Amino acid sequence: MSPSWILVCIGCYFAALLAIAWKTSRGATSGSYYLGNKTSPWYAVAFGYIGDSLSGVTFISVPGQVASSKFAYLQVVLGNLVGYAIIAGVLLPLYYRLNLTSIYSYLGSRFGSHSQKTGSFFFLISRLTGAAARLYLAASVLQSFIFDAWHIPFAATVSVSILLMLVYTMRGGIRTLVWTDTFQSTFLLLGLGLSILAIAQRLDLDLRGLITLVKESEMSRTFFWDWRDKNFFWKQFVSGIFLAIAMNGLDQNMMQKNLSCRTLREARTNLCAFSIVMVLVNLVFLSLGVLLHHFAQAKGIPLPSRTDALFPTLALQHLGVLASVAFVIGLTAATFSSADSVLTTLTTSFCFDFLGQEKSLAPETTKTRRRHLVHAGFAVILLGFILAFRALDSDAVIDAILRLAGYTYGPLLGLFALGLTTRCSIRDRWVPWVCCGSPLLCLVLEQNVPAWFGGYRFGFELLLVNALITAGTLWVFGPRERDHVPA
């Protein structure tokens, strides 16, 4: 399929997004922007979460890594189920009872303003750098395979993309995102399904044949029991629990849509439905990885040196028109579904946690103008980060940035755990220093633990270590008197 037709498909896709935004943003208010007037249908939020959780990096990386990691990632996903149950049973009731817009307001009422701003800052940094790195990686794939043929500069590609995101999220906020994410999740799953269909046609296999091929493949091994391996089951499973809690329950980007549901019961229903669907979706993505590797082997196609290039290479160069369209639309949906909501939730967190939007006595027009400026400002910062990554042009640097963004959830987990499980008070002014020092200490541990403990390798459980260091340090050096816990 020619780049011109692919460009037409992407153009039609964004035209549909803009039409949805126009429809949903009419008569929008601050209540619509921040929490969708608390009228979001739970089923729309749950379905939209699929695209929000699966970034463009996931779309291309999970299938590519199957040869080296097998189905080990499914151990993390199974742990996520327990984490989502804890979010539904503990965190959502807390957020609804306190009627929060920014979830970091809890840290402010529990510990103090430094804790609230630190929690919000770590969210801003992790989401901003993570979204920028993921957008950069996905945009680079589209640039290499499509836009370079038109001699369109990378900066122009990314600038137009962010401008389009800005247009359809600026006014409607969460009320718009609930429905655009539903639309994008539909196309993400459609892209996934059509990709598998294209492989089935090329290999002349029916559904039963596909299932048998995946089941009998050595790459479908799921459970690992060597305790020193980073894929050891209990490390992955327990890490999956805390990853779900930290990166969903303590993340403004994921919780803001949950808080837009009509009631706590609907928000819980949404989360439970989403968690089950995500197990199935990730299983299909892993199965796609097996099919891609088998197709390359059957057709004598050399595997690319980078695993991330496997899916785009086969889809755009070897699987025909159907697979090309499916891949481009699926990647676009996965990338922008996870990125567009970031602008809204970054704006929400900054306005409430740093600008005091909730307590501001300024006129509504002033608040709206301030919100628009912050929203546009984060779009510019996001663009700057992406262009900086392009200038660095180093896979090692991008991998490090993605890992560091993940580290920032450790202090958040530690702060919330300390607040929810104890009645102790802490030295609020120490919080920023402790939360910055904990991830740095974890970096040192990650580099040296293999030598200290007979080859033991950290996996996702480093998040839990990070949280324990944060909570333990604040507890040990905190004042001894008991603090008030919000009712």
Residue for token digits 């400026």?
Answer: 373
Joined tokens for residue 434: 């402790």
Architecture of domain 3-406: Up-down Bundle (1.20)
pLDDT for 309:
77
- Quick check: 343 and 378 in contact, CB under 8 A? yes
Q: Give, in order, the Cα–Cα distances in Å from 70 to each of 64, 73, 312.
A: 10, 8, 19
> What are the backbone angles phi and psi of residue 95, rounded to the nearest 5°?
-65, -40
**SS3 of 36-57:** HHHCECHHHHHHHHHHHHCCHH
Q: CB-based contacts of 50: which residues, under 8 Å, 6+ apart?
A: 185, 188, 189, 274, 277, 278, 281
- Quick check: 431 and 118 in contact, CB under 8 A? yes
H-state helical runs in 354-394? 364-392
pLDDT for 57:
65
For the chain, what are the domain ranges?
3-406
Please give the Cα distance from 248 to 393 (Å, whole number).
30
Please give the Cα distance from 152 to 140 (Å, whole number).
12
Residue for token digits 């399904």?
Answer: 193
Strand-pairing partners, residue 424, are 482
Backbone torsion region of residue 214, taken as left when φ is above 0, otherwise alpha when ψ lies between -120 and 50, otherwise beta: alpha
pLDDT for 486:
45
DSSP 8-state class, residue 427: -
Residue for token digits 């993505």?
Answer: 285
- Quick check: 165 and 336 in contact, CB under 8 A? yes
Strand-pairing partners, residue 482, are 424
- Quick check: 382 and 135 in contact, CB under 8 A? yes
DSSP 8-state class, residue 28: -
Q: What is the largest CA-CA distance in the chain?
A: 71
H-state helical runs in 90-216? 92-97, 105-110, 113-145, 154-169, 174-203, 207-216
Q: Give, in order, the Cα–Cα distances in Å from 132 to each of 179, 182, 381.
A: 23, 22, 9
Please give the Cα distance from 186 to 156 (Å, whole number).
27
pLDDT for 483:
44
Strand-pairing partners, residue 40, are 261
Q: Name the residue among 295, 282, 302, 304 with its Cα closest to residue 323.
A: 295
pLDDT for 59:
74
Joined tokens for residue 474: 């604040």
pLDDT digit string, tens, across residues 77-99: 999 999 999 999 999 999 999 99
Listed as ranges, residues in the chain with pLDDT below 50 are 396-398, 481-487
pLDDT for 36:
84
The residue type at 166:
L
Q: CB-based contacts of 415: which residues, under 8 Å, 6+ apart?
A: 107, 111, 115, 118, 119, 431, 435, 470, 471, 474
- Quick check: 438 and 414 in contact, CB under 8 A? yes
pLDDT digit string, tens, across residues 164-213: 888 888 878 888 888 988 888 888 888 888 888 888 888 888 888 889 99
pLDDT for 463:
82
